[in-house]
Structure 1
Amino acid sequence: MLHNAATATQLAATHGYSADVGAWLVLALAAWGAGYLFLCWIWPFTNCRRCHGWGKRRAPIGRGFRHCPRCRGTGYRLRIGRHVLNRLRDIRGASTRRRLP
């Protein structure tokens, strides 16, 4: 009876597709990130998660409503990607501005 235990073959050497999967994964993540930043550039605001876009929340006591403290009553919040874009714009703008003596 023959056994394969004596052979010293490595699985990584016989399967060359693992590097291709990693490259596709990196490419897919880069495409997703670029798409998300484009979305944040076109639509910078999203509904507030705390008040669900209503701009008001029920008061803790009674039946009244108060402005949502997170969105200040507007119902909208800036997306995280838009914060990133604004920061990159500020960094780029700070390096191109001329300083007055």
Structure 2
Amino acid sequence: MDPVTFLAIAAVTIVAIVTFRYVMACWIRPFATCQKCHGKRYLPNRIGRGTHDCRRCNGTGLRLRWGRHAYNFARRLHNDGTR
């Protein structure tokens, strides 16, 4: 087998495995921890000692994954087009 062909097959296989794992992660666990508050649900105020809810996750500590957003959009588009 030619080394270039082997590298191409290896690259395609690695991309397919990574894509499959992300799709499974979006299916099994559609929510990930919020990157801004790190899942703590609140952020400290800039002035004073209090805290407030995180605006990105609305105080839940969880965010919907990008892949799940895309899946929901595609499903909604299909359902609206076939009614």
TM-score above 0.5: yes
Letter in 2 for 1:78: L
- CA deviation string 1:21-77 (max 9, x = no partner): 112211220121022111111100111111110111001100000011111111110
Letter in 2 for 1:82: R
Secondary structure, counterpart of 2:63 in structure 1: strand
Matched, 1:55 2:41: yes
For structure 1, which runs of at least 5 residues remain unmatched after alignment?
1-14
Name the counterpart of 1:77.
Answer: 63
TM-score normalised by length of structure 1: 0.74
In 2, Cα distance between the equivalents of 1:30 and 1:95?
Answer: 30
In 2, Cα distance between the equivalents of 1:41 and 1:20?
Answer: 31
Aligned pair count?
A: 83
Higher relative contact order (CA 8 A, sep 6+): 2
Matched, 1:30 2:16: yes
For structure 2, which runs of at least 5 residues remain unmatched after alignment?
none
- The percentage of aligned residue pairs carrying the same residue is 39
- Runs of 4+ in structure 1 deviating by more than 2 angstroms, as ranges, are none
